[in-house]
Structure 1
Amino acid sequence: MTKWFLWMGLTMLTGSPLLSLGLLAVLLFAADRFTLQVLPSPMRAFKRWQRAGELAGTILTNTHDRRARAELADIRLGQKRYQEAVDLLRPNLDAGDDDVDTLYLLGVAYLGAGDAPRGELLLTEAERLDADFRQGAIDLERGRFRLQRGDFPGAREALGRFLQVRQGSVEGRVLLARALDKQGLDVEAQDARDAAWREYAVAPRFQKRRDRWWAYRARPSRPLAYAAVALVLMGVGAYLTRYLPTHDTYGRYGAYEDEPYAADDMGGEDAE
């Protein structure tokens, strides 16, 4: 809704809806880069896309390159292309790659692809090899996908274990708040959201950039307030542009026609 009003304001300024749409996209992206930095970096996305193309070419040349398969599968997981990640990693597992990284990635891929039993089994096996893998990443993924498929008690259990390991995780607390909301525990859910915002407020700057998206999910009123300020500024700009009087330095072409004496001067003495 806010973006709609911004677009309307730009349309009033430019007179072109299509141009306003393009300007809105540029303005929102520029504002995000210099302030919130919530939107993904296009340069980083481009580099990952480029690297994915290189890895795909390597696999076409050598289908048994398990390292390339694992790296490309990791990229596909970040793109939420879970079935492709399964297809990439399954040959690695069949070839004997049963290390914790492979089991973890394939477990997440199966969970994302909708095969929860296999995904949970592989994550359990990865946990058996390294219970503290990536500081609780296994329980974080368990909680995330259990929440998606409606297993709210299971999500709450997994996220609770994750937060015991990584107490400063804003993402973990926001996901836990969602699980508590779904179970009707409104007070506990609000406490979890408040705790998420407190962790974000005291985090170092580099961590804030990483957690900002989750922090504003904990308190969505903050970005709405920023958007409201931007809307007010746009409205003031539109008013100043359209309604304040302007003074021309030079007269308009043909302005003499508006003068009351213009008709009398046209003939002059020769008119008689």
Structure 2
Amino acid sequence: MGLTLLTGSPLLSLALLVVLLFAADRFTLQLFPSPVRALKRWQRAGELAGTILTNTHDRRARAELADIRLGQKRYAEAVDLLRPNLDAGDDDVDTLYLLGVAYLGAGDAPKGELLLDEAARLDADYRQGAIDLERGRFRLQYGDLKGAREALERFLQVRQGSVEGRVLLSRVLAKEGLAAEAKATRDAAWREYTVAPRFQRRRDRWWAWRARPSRPLTYAAVALVMMGVGAYATRHLPTHDVAPRYYYDEAPYAAEDLGGDDAE
């Protein structure tokens, strides 16, 4: 409302507000995804898609584009991209891992688990336990609580400071009816977040707030109070008195017919 008073245009004020929020976020909490990074990934995905159209046998482009599609949760597309690589003989740990996650996300759990088993056989510590992390995530989604707990506990043995792993494990424990253990795991996740380096806290902030959702709710309440105060102040700003405008009947008069019928 304050910006609208200054600019005179609600749409321009909304655009300015969005720009100001993103700019403030980039220099403070960094909650929103980077628009520049998202634009670069979108452009890169377009370039890779064009490369694959001109050369369908470019397996490196297929693997890179599939990795981008996994980040966008477009699992079925990632399966279609990586399946020809596997058929062509690419049985390295990177291909097996990406295709296994793609199958899990697309709903084909048996194939996904089988491919992740092969990837773990080649490199059990691949990306510091990334295989077990994805297993735990999707097993939780499919309702395999025992398997999810085993995978996440193995993952936390390798990457003990993972906030995401502890939050996922706390969800498994909560679904198993272990409320006290789930709360203790969430508290441990928050402690890991508070002592982590700044760059890691920025990366784990969403998961940390899932461990302690009272924090974002508190921030939201403060924001609402500030918005309410701003709206109240805007409504009670002193306004300049405007001289009253008088409107007259502008119906045309018959200037030539001043006398009416008597003029005859």
Q: TM-score, normalised by structure 2?
A: 0.85
Query: 1:228 and 1:28, CA in 2 relative to 1: closer, same or farther beyond 3 A?
Result: farther
1:169-227 deviation line (CA, Å, top 9, x unaligned): 00000000111111111001001110110000000011111101101111111111111
The answer to whether structure 1 residue 98 and structure 2 residue 91 are counterparts is yes
For the pair 1:253 / 2:243, whether they are aligned, the reply is yes
Aligned to 2:141, which of 148, 163, 174? Answer: 148
Deviations 1:100-153 (A, max 9, x none): 000000000000000000000000000000011000000000000001111111
**Is the contact made by 1:159 and 1:176 (CA closer than 8 Å) also made in structure 2?**
yes
* Equivalent-residue separation in structure 2 for 1:233 and 1:51 (angstroms): 40
Q: By how many angstroms is 1:35 displaced? A: 2.8
Q: Give RMSD over aligned pairs.
A: 2.4
Judge conservation of contact 2:116–2:131 (CA < 8 Å) in 1. Answer: yes
* Matches of 1:242 and 1:86, distance apart in 2: 56
Number of the residue aligned with 1:174 = 167
For these two proteins, the number of residue pairs brought into alignment is 244
Change in CA separation of 1:221 and 1:28 when aligned onto 2, cut-off 3 Å = farther
Match of 2:60 in 1: 67
Cα distance change, pair 126–21 in 1 and its aligned pair in 2 (3 A): same
The CA distance in 2 between the partners of 1:67 and 1:58, in whole Å, is 10
User: How do 1:1-272 and structure 2 match up within 5 A?
Assistant: 25-26=18-19, 28-243=21-236, 246=238, 248=240, 252-253=242-243
Greater shift in the superposed pair: 31-40 or 104-113: 31-40
Q: Secondary structure of 2:170's match?
A: helix
* Unmatched 5+ stretches in structure 2: 246-264
Q: Distance in 2 between matches of 1:17 and 1:178?
A: 43
**Contact between 1:174 and 1:214, CA under 8 Å: does it hold in 2?**
yes
Consecutive aligned runs of 4 or more in structure 1 exceeding 6 Å deviation: 9-21
Q: Distance in 2 between matches of 1:200 and 1:60?
A: 44
**Amino acid paired to 1:111:** L
Residue deviations 1:39-86, cap 9 Å, x none? 211111110110011001111111111101100000010011101111
Check whether the contact 1:10–1:24 (CA below 8 A) recurs between aligned residues: no
Q: How far does the alpha carbon of each residue in 1:232-260 deviate from its partner, in whole angstroms, 9 at most, with x for none?
A: 1111122222235x375xx64359xxxxx
Matches of 2:68 and 2:75, distance apart in 1: 10
Give the drift of 1:36: 2.3
Q: After superposition, what is the alpha-carbon deviation per residue over 1:157-180, rounded to whole angstroms, capped at 9, x for unaligned?
A: 100000000000000000001111
Look up the equivalent residue of 1:81 and give its one-letter code. Answer: R
Q: Distance in 2 between matches of 1:13 and 1:176?
A: 50
Q: Distance in 1 between matches of 2:95 and 2:73?
A: 17
One-letter amino acid of the structure 2 residue matched with residue 161 of structure 1 = R
Higher relative contact order (CA 8 A, sep 6+): 1
* Contact 1:171 1:211 (C-alpha < 8 Å) held by counterparts: yes
